[in-house]
Structure 1
Amino acid sequence: MSRRVAWFLLAFGIWSWVIWITFVKNLWASENSWGPDGSATGFFVVHLILAIVSFALGTIIGVIGLRGLRAKQKADA
């Protein structure tokens, strides 16, 4: 993997975390997320699952990028 691709993957993983943390904060504060009795709505559950999957994928992609950078450093040394 090239250094450019590794940096892109690492940046994508970090960006994914930044975006989805903001999304979850906004989701939590949304009036659509909570029913009249204070329980989570289907809207909240579906979007929270989407966020959790995105956190996992962002982490995996970021780790691949980080490993690519480390491998490139070892190869260049």
Structure 2
Amino acid sequence: MSSKVAWFLLGFGIWSGIIWITFVKNLWASDNSWAPDGSATAFFVVHLILAIVSFILGTIIGVIGLRGLRARKSEKTAA
């Protein structure tokens, strides 16, 4: 993996974390997320699942990028 690709993947992972954490904060504060009795709406549940899955995938992508950068670094020090 090239350094550019590894940096892109790491940046994507960080960006994804920021975006989805912010999304969940806004989702939690939304009036559409809660029924009048205080229970979660289907809107909330669906979007929370979307956010969790996307956060996990973004983290995995970021870890792949980090591992790519570490592998490149170890190749340079071994040479």
Alignment TM-score > 0.5, same fold:
yes
Q: Partners in 2 of 1:36 and 1:30 — Cα distance?
A: 13
Structure 2 unaligned spans of 5+: none
Q: CA deviation at 1:36?
A: 0.7
Counterpart for residue 44 of structure 1: 44
The TM-score, its normalising length taken from structure 2, stands at 0.96
Q: CA deviation at 1:40?
A: 0.1
1:31-67: CA deviation from partner (whole Å, max 9, x where unpaired): 0000010000000000000000011001100000000
Structure 1 unaligned spans of 5+: none
The two structures, once aligned, show a CA RMSD in angstroms of: 0.3
The TM-score, its normalising length taken from structure 1, stands at 0.99
Counterpart for residue 73 of structure 1: 73
Paired positions, count: 77
Q: Partners in 2 of 1:34 and 1:74 — Cα distance?
A: 50
